[in-house]
Structure 1
Amino acid sequence: MDFAPSRLSADMVDAMWQFMHDRVFPAEPVWKAQLAELGPHATPPVLADLKRDARHRGLWNLFLPTVSGLSNLEYAPVAEVTGWSPVIAPEAINCQAPDTGNMELLHLFGTPEQRKRWLEPLLAGDLRSAYAMTEPQVASSDATNIETSIVRDGDDYVIDGVKWWITGVADERCQVFIVMGKTNPEAPPHQQQSMIIVPRDTPGVEVVRSLPIFGYQDQHGHCEITFTAVRVPAANLLGEEGAGFALAQARLGPGRIHHAMRAIGMSERALSLLVDRARSRTAFGTVLADQGVVQQLIADSRIEIDQVRLLVEKTAWLIDHHGAKGARTEIAAIKVAAPAVATRVIDRAIEVFGGAGVSDDTPLAYFYAWARVLRIVDGPDAVHRRTIARQEFQRPRR
């Protein structure tokens, strides 16, 4: 395994850092002020300027190998840089969840008509999408539990069910949902589910509410949605009937690389803030940087960040060379490890900042909330530990 950056990857990382310093970091207070004025789910006008500049710089759709020419390993450090400003930077370069996963699904499994209608405007950044799987009444960590029904009726499918924690739906630009439900409850457990494309304006679709995370209205809203006798053409089925679970697994591999590297980016920014604070703050007659307890916080953070980055790079290399199935254990491992490290590093930074760390004067409080949520989204830690343990039981012993 060789994790040395390619020339293309190194150039993209350099360009991304330049964009961060030139545009993204200065835009953070502007973004915050515009949302305060227009509402938590509005589109800040500064975003359009950022997106135009990103496209001009060639920083657009970098997550998709067939578009950018970047492998998962090559894109990983770019994703890390965007994690320094996780609300703004990914969206500014059209590499934000859940759109990235939906674009991958449409690219891999969509019909020509589906790609024309939905993938092309998503790649252009003209609209946004949502991925509707999680449900309030079942443990959605086991996707075979989902209860939403997708029933064939002539040339249509009829959808009934309730979804929640559906990211991005409070944003008026979110015009299409990829919905996962059951088309055949009598089939084997992993062949009961299918995915179908549902335009937002379809009769019977109701956005009930937006759910905050630790009080933050995050990622353009995580919403509860009801589907009541929602009728869409059979041509909206994504892939084949019964392939929903397999499509979901294909969607999650690269996406977890992105989440993990952005978590590392948040960790790096938290550590940078911690170091700056330690150098500038005095307590008990000496700067914090000279106190052994603070030095230990810094050292532990550096060790853990570098360890988890290597694990994510290994996972990205395995996906590139062996596909998501060949990296199943590692994908589960980074989903546990990266948010856990981020939570610990951010917590240490908050400790050094004291009261300022839990306020909105720094990004640390939001970072902590989002890092903690990452331990639940895309499957909770316990599920991924179960996957790792099962793989370990199957590993040949020497």
Structure 2
Amino acid sequence: MVNRRRLLGLAGAGGAALAMPGLLPAPAHATPQPAAAWPTEFVEVTPTIEGDIAWYDVSQWGVEGRGWSDTAAFYDRLPARAEAVVPPAVWVRSRTSAGLSTRFVSNSTTFRARYRLTLATTAMYHMPAVGHSGVDLYARTEAGQDAWLANTHPTAQTIDQQMGLAVDPGERLYTAYLPLYNGPQYLQIGVESGASFVGVAPRTAAPAVFYGSSIMQGGVASRPGMSITALLGRRFDMPTINLGFSGNARMEPEIAELMTELEASVYVVDSSPNMNPQQISERAEPFVRLLREARPDTPILLVEDRRYGDGQFVQFRRDRNAQNAAALHAAYRNLRTSGVKHLWYLKADQLPQSEELVDGSHPSDLGMVTYANAYEKVLRPILHNRRDGLTDRP
């Protein structure tokens, strides 16, 4: 029996008397973030005991980053009905768990993850197994920061592994980020039998919704906690939804209509890497108008195509980047001129450069941080104003 309750008195390491923080001016990389809020809603879960391990099924308390509850499988990212309306390749990619995470509080000193992947492939030539198919575990510090702790190292479709070494005693808040280019058929967290454990209910605050390409999906971060949406979720201390679809983000109207179903704090549209100039010219304005008609006050951020790492040597690459940027900026100008408000624009010169790309296209972890820095610079004042009920500009 799952019992949802409020445990306002629960305060493990980093949890005592933490209030919801304000959104502060954007910090430089590696500058400590403000203390994150301690969760207030928890779910008691009955474990399955096997020897000295208590196994807890994540589906019993839930995941964040899941925009719809009516999915074909628990860890899917689009509703089951989307299969009939989105391109087949989008549907296939929506069945990965990119951007999903789960939180729990425990005083166990060891942690395991047990799951079976939907895909037999656990890595790609430019993306390691941990990022592709691993579970990435973070722990809350006494200062109220979520810091990396451990992860799984997938070598087969079924994984049952201890994550890292035994930690110092103490009750802590943990966040587990799910695979970026694969997905679990089931997922269980194992702790020491007899240790305390409570699931954290997914937050209900309006999420930031990110739509984009393989880069947004997480390609090719070394581990799930280094994806753009994971980085920004920690920085803003808020839920995010990852609608990145590798090779298949092309501003289809069906995707925009699905996005309007989400009560978002902001929509980020970063699909140019999968589009050509003609597609952007034809689709960008209708896509934004669909979002705006359904959600008149929700900010929308349009993001230019990142620049190819070899562009300084390859004319075709330079032309593609320049033409894509020109097409998107023309759409932005037309939308603004026609009266569309709460619309923002991010230029490519703030996005990763060649040394931050793995294959000239997809960012490394360093590139992911650069992406997050660029997004944060634009999004932080927008989210700050919306929180305080102010008008965002432009």
Question: Do both proteins adopt the same fold according to a TM-score greater than 0.5, normalized to the shorter chain?
Answer: no
TM-score by length of 2: 0.31
Higher relative contact order (CA 8 A, sep 6+): 2
TM-score by length of 1: 0.30
